[in-house]
Amino acid sequence: MTAREAILQRLYQGREQQGGLDVPVSNFAVLERPHWNHADKRQRFEQAMRSVHTEIHSVSRDNWCTVLQQLATEKGLHNLWVSPDTCHGKELTQHWQLTQTPLLQHCPPLAEWKDELFNQVNAALTGCRGAIAETGSLILWPTTAEPRVISLVPPVHFVLLDGNQLYSTLHQAMHQQGWADTGMPTNALLISGPSKTADIEQTLAYGVHGPKELIVLVLE
């Protein structure tokens, strides 16, 4: 008998001995926040994100490239990675004027540029699929154009968020975006702030293994 068969057999037997298990109803109503309007959601999102050292900037479709360039200058970034295959990437490429902060746009398979990615890429911009107000979380489903490591390895991560894509809770987001129905991607992420740890005597420190800074540009 294989381990699989033995384990399953014990589980089936165990349940049979007990004559099945009574299960109470799962009432998900406790998770709902029906009274939050858009302004409430926006305020909660910003409050939650700022409480974990996330920078938030309101931008318009006309000025977000300019704001991003200002931020890149202020932070003294050496370079910024952006995908050439996304709408926002193309738009930024057209507007980019900073010579001291060149745009990086190549994205070969990870093995071909691991050293460069880990040691030289200073910052990256990605989009996202929306955000969750209650916990201050960005929803990212990495794609071929914006792979998983891009939101993880560079020390500074900029995220472009459509202000209309704000959900009250995770439960609402997964239902309204139909996660379970459409099938989950290879990797789906919730990102709620820059990387942090409190493993040394409970003292909070940011930027332990992932990005040290998370900056959200909210498109109005």
Partner 1 sequence: MNPATDAVREFTPRARTALDNPAVRNNFRKAMDGLMDKRQAAFADWDLEALRELGAAVRLRALSRLPELLVQLEHNLQARGIQVHWAETGEQACQIVHDICQRRNARSVIKGKSMVSEEMDLNAFLARSGIEALESDLGEYIIQLAGEAPSHIIMPAIHKNTDEISELMHQQTGTRRSHDVDYLTASARSQLREKFMRADVGLSGVNFAIAATGTLCLVENEGNGRLTTTVPDCHIAVTGIEKVVENLEDIAPLLALLTRSATGQHITTYVNMISAPRQPDEKDGPEEVHLVLVDSGRSAIYQDRELLDTLRCIRCGACMNHCPVYTRIGGHAYGTTYPGPIGKILMPHLLGLESAHILPTASTLCGACEEVCPVKIPIPQLLQRLRTEAMDGDPQRPAHMDGHGSKRNWREMLLWHGWTLFNSRPWAYRLGTALAARFRRWTPARLGTWTRYRSAPRPAPQSLQQQLRQCRHKES
Contact yes or no for 123/180 (Cβ under 8 A) = no
Residue with tokens 């809770």: 169
Q: Does 188 bind partner 1 (CB under 8 A)?
A: yes
Which residues is 80 bridged to in the sheet? 103
Among 130, 154, 163, 211, binds partner 1 (CB under 8 A): 211
Ranges within 3-62 binding partner 1 (CB under 8 A): 3-4, 6-8, 10-15, 17-18, 20-21, 23-31, 48, 52
Q: Based on CB atoms, which residue is closest to partner 1, 87 or 184? A: 184
H or E stretch at 120: none
The residue among 90 and 118 lying less far from partner 1, judged by its C-beta, is 118
> Contacting partner 1 (CB under 8 A), which of 94, 97, 99, 202?
202
* Spatial contact of 207 and 194, defined as CB atoms under 8 Å apart: yes
Of 69-77, 87-95, 96-104, 197-205, which segment contacts partner 1 by CB under 8 A?
A: 197-205
Based on the shown chain and the rule CB under 8 A, indicate whether residue 186 belongs to the binding site for partner 1: yes
The minimum distance between CB 120 and partner 1, in angstroms, equals 13
Distances in Å between the Cα of 137 and the Cα atoms of 72, 128, 132, 191, 193 are: 23, 11, 5, 5, 8
123 close to 80: Cβ distance less than 8 angstroms: yes
CB of 185 to partner 1, least distance (A): 7
Q: Is residue 118 involved in binding partner 1 (CB under 8 A)?
A: yes
Q: How far apart are CA 141 and CA 27, in angstroms?
A: 28
